[in-house]
């Protein structure tokens, strides 16, 4: 089997400008498939260090995705993109009655509006070149009622809905669009944020543990590759079975 299915292709992974996140592992997995990988982030110094950690074939692009002007500039700077991974996400965890408006706006701007306008800018190029793949990162929380995560979960549910619409819009032109919905994954930021609690959350799933960033990345890379050629409009949980029980 050809192990470099993305040779000659260009991938853009948002929110991959640090080494401890899921985005970094996605960038690594897409490099292994032979793609040139553009990574976007909010800190140039950290982003360049991440590129060095990834080795050759990568380029860092600076963009705060909460700002739609910077989303549009990112799409322009990226140019022709064959694989778009909407991985960056803002979080805001509050009981509904205490939700600050600015964080509400930031979460929807980053998690819904940015993927929306990146897709609207980059998908036409994929169509013109005869195909492409878009992968949106959601969360198991989008399909569960969990107190305190209303805005984050709703933004990801919106993104899952967009996956289905885009699969319908772009499928006839050879562009596949899918969602990956992780359960608790031990990315650096989550470990800092949740500490030991994440282990408890992991125990709620049938597999009884938290997931690894590389396990999410493998699924994203599969969906990005031609070997997933008949998969579109799907939402694939990478959650140890949590969403099934």
Ligand X SMILES: NC(=O)c1ccc[n+]([C@@H]2O[C@H](COP(=O)([O-])OP(=O)(O)OC[C@H]3O[C@@H](n4cnc5c(N)ncnc54)[C@H](OP(=O)(O)O)[C@@H]3O)[C@@H](O)[C@H]2O)c1
Residues designated as active site: 152
**Residue of 29, 35, 66, 221 interacting with ligand X (CB under 6 A):** 66
> Among 124, 138, 227, 135, which Cα is nearest to 170's?
124
Q: Which is nearer to ligand X, 127 or 154 (CB)?
A: 154
Q: Say how far apart CA 201 and CA 214 lie, in whole Å.
A: 19
Tokens of 53: 């950690």
Cα separation values, 245 from 22, 198, 205, 242, Å: 25, 18, 8, 6
Contacting range for ligand X; rule: CB under 6 A; set: 28-36, 127-135, 183-191, 222-230: 183-191
179/232 with CB nearer ligand X: 179
87 contacts ligand X (rule: CB under 6 A): yes
Q: Which range binds ligand X by CB under 6 A, 11-19, 27-35, 125-133, 170-178?
A: 11-19
- Is residue 178 part of the contact set for ligand X (CB under 6 A)? no
Provide, rounded to whole angstroms, the least separation between the CB of residue 114 and ligand X: 7
CA atoms lying within 13 Å on the CB side of residue 200: 4
Taking Cα atoms as reference points, which of 39, 9, 8 lies closest to residue 24?
39
205 forms part of the interface with ligand X (CB under 6 A) = no
Q: Which two tokens stand for residue 157?
A: 């549910």
By the criterion CB under 6 A, which residues form the site for ligand X?
15, 17-18, 21-23, 41-43, 64-66, 87-90, 110, 137, 139, 182, 184-185, 187, 189-190
């Amino acid at each position: 089997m050809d192990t470099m299915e993305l040779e000659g292709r260009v991938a853009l992974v948002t929110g991959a400008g640090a080494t401890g996140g899921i985005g970094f592992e996605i960038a690594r997995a897409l490099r292994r498939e032979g793609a040139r990988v553009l990574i976007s982030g909010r800190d140039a110094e950290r982003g360049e260090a991440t590129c060095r950690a990834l080795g050759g074939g990568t380029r860092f692009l600076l963009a705060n995705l909460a700002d739609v002007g910077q989303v549009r500039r990112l799409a322009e700077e990226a140019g022709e993109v064959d694989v778009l991974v909407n991985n960056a996400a803002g979080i805001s965890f509050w009981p509904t009655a205490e939700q600050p408006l600015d964080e509400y706006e930031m979460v929807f701007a980053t998690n819904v509006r940015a993927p929306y306008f990146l897709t609207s800018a980059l998908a036409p190029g994929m169509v013109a070149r005869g195909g492409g793949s878009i992968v949106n990162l959601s969360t198991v929380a989008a399909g569960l009622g969990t107190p305190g995560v209303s805005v984050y979960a709703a933004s990801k549910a919106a993104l899952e809905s967009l996956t289905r619409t885009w699969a319908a819009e772009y499928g006839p032109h050879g562009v596949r669009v899918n969602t990956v919905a992780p359960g608790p994954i031990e990315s650096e930021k989550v470990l800092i944020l949740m500490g030991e609690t994440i282990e408890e959350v992991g125990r709620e799933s049938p597999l009884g543990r938290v997931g690894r960033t590389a396990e999410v990345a493998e699924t994203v890379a599969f969906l990005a590759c031609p070997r997933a050629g008949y998969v579109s409009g799907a939402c694939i949980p990478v959650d140890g079975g949590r969403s099934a029980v």
